[in-house]
Structure 1
Amino acid sequence: MSNIAIVYYSQGGATAMIAHSVAQGVNDAGAHAQLFSIEPHQVIGNQWHDEVMLSRLAAADAIIFGAPAFQGGVAAAFKAFADATTGMWRARSWRNKVAGGFAFSCRSGEDKRNTLDYFAALAAQHGMVWADAQADDAEFEMRGAAGSPVTRFAGDFPAVTAPGVEVDAAYALDPADVIAGKQYGRNVASLVARLAGEVLESPAVLARRALEAAERRL
C-alpha cells in the first residue's frame, strides 16, 4: 500500500478542510494518507524545524503540498517549511517521488496559480514527478458558497474563489472544491500506483474479498 503525505499550512481552516478531503480521496483509492500540518511553534528563530516530520516525508511515496495564497504568493509559513527542505534536496530524499499541490484564496486573481507554480517549482528542484489534476473530465454542478450554480470538472483543482475578506476562511470554502479535493487525492494515488506497478482497489472491494475469504474457510 502506498503512503501519500499531505503537508499543508492553514490559517483560517479552509486549506485544512481541503487537505482532509484530499486525504479522504487518497484513502478511498486504497492508498494510505498521512496529514502533516505546518504549525507556528515549528518556526524557531525565523527558521522552520521538525526533523521527525521531514523523516516521515522522506519515507512517503508521494507528497502533496497545500497552502493559502497570501498577497499574490505562497504563505510565509509554508515558505519557511520549504526552505528547511534543503537537507532533503542535498540527500535527494524526495527524488522521483510523486508531488502535487493545492491552494486556497478568497480572491479571483492569479494568486492561487502563483502558489501552485511555486509548488511545482519546489517539486522540480527536488526531482519529483508532478501529478496533473486533469485525470477525469467528468462534469458536475453544485451550489457554490454564494448560492449560485458552480460548474466543475472532476479533475479541476484548485478552483477556490469565494467572496469574503479573510484569506483561508473556512466559511468561504466552496463545497464543489471539497469534491474536487477528493478527486485529486484519488488521481495522485492512482498515479503512484501506476508508477509502482500496483493495482489499487477501494476499501469496499478489499473488505468484500476479506469476507469471501473468511466464508471459504468456514
Structure 2
Amino acid sequence: MKHIAVIYHSAHGHTEHIAQHIAAGSSHEPDTEVTLIKADEAARNPESILRYDGLILGSPTYLGGVSAPFKAFMDSTGGLWKKQLLNGKLAAGFTVSSLPAGDKQSTLISLFTFCMQHGMLWAGNPILPEQHTGVPYDEAANRLGSWSGLMAQAGHGSAANAFVPGDIRSAQLFGQLFARSLQRLTPIHQPASTTQGAHHVSQTF
C-alpha cells in the first residue's frame, strides 16, 4: 500500500477544489491511500508528513509565488531538511491562478526547488495537451501546456463553477499518473519514524 499526502493552501476554495480532484484521481489507483492536508496543519506538525510515500504540494499563485501560509509550511520543514528525512520520496506540484499565465511557472519552480533541497524525486506533468488532437480547448487536458507540474485557471465565482472541464480532468489525470509512478518506485530511504503506528485515511477540508 502506498500513502499519498496532498498538502495545499486555499484561501477561497479554488486550490482546494483542484486538490480534491487530484486526490480523487490518485485514489482510483489500486493499493493507494490519499490524505488531504491543509498547509497550516502540516506546518504545526511537519514530522507527520514522514509517514507518506509521496507528496503532492499545491498553492495558489500570489504575486508570482506560493502563498504566505504555504511558505510557512515549507519553512517549518527545516528540521526535516537537516536530517534529510524526506530524501527519496516522490513529489509533485500544482498551482492555481485567475489568469491563463499568472506567472504560475514561478510557483512551480519554487515547489520544485523546495523538493530538490529535501532530496525528493520530482514527478512532472506528462499529459499531452489534447487541443492539438481536436478536443475543444476548454475540454482539453493540460490545455495550459505545463510540463513541470499541474496548472489550473480559476474563473470568478464559487470554486465548484470556476474551472473549465479540461482543468478538472487534468487534475484527476495528474493525480492518477502520480499514483502510478509511485507504485513503480522502490523506497530508497525509510526513516524509522515512518514505520510506527497505523495510518488511517482522512480528508481535511
For this structure pair, what is the TM-score category when the shorter chain's length is used for normalisation?
0.7 to 0.9
TM-score, normalization: structure 1?
0.73
Q: What percentage of residue pairs aligned between the two structures are identical?
A: 30
Whether the aligned pair in 2 keeps the contact of 1:158 and 1:177 (CA below 8 Å) is no
**2:67 is the alignment partner of 1:66:** no
**2:167 is the alignment partner of 1:177:** yes
Higher mean displacement: 154-163 or 97-106: 154-163
TM-score, normalization: structure 2?
0.78
Q: Which structure is larger by alpha-carbon Rg, 1 or 2?
A: 1
Higher mean displacement: 184-193 or 172-181: 172-181
- Unaligned 5+ segments in structure 2 are 188-205
Aligned with 2:110 (options 86, 93, 118): 118
Q: Between Structure 1 and Structure 2, how many residues are aligned?
A: 179
Q: Match of 1:37?
A: 38
Deviations 1:145-188 (A, max 9, x none): xxxxx433499553423454x8xx62422232111111111111
- Unaligned 5+ segments in structure 1 are 43-47, 145-149, 198-218
Whether the aligned pair in 2 keeps the contact of 1:68 and 1:74 (CA below 8 Å) is yes
Q: Match of 1:93?
A: 85
Looking at structure 2, the residues matched to 153 and 37 of structure 1 have their Cα atoms a distance apart, in angstroms, of: 25
**2:114 is the alignment partner of 1:139:** no
Q: CA RMSD in A?
A: 2.5
Q: Match of 1:202?
A: none
Select the structure that is richer in strand.
1
Q: Residue type matched to 1:16 in 2?
A: E
Question: In the TM superposition, what is the alpha-carbon distance from 1:142 to its structure 2 partner?
Answer: 5.6
Q: Match of 2:101?
A: 109
After superposing on structure 2, the runs of 4+ consecutive aligned residues of structure 1 that deviate more than 4 Å are 153-157
SS at the partner of 1:99?
strand
Question: In the TM superposition, what is the alpha-carbon distance from 1:137 to its structure 2 partner?
Answer: 3.5
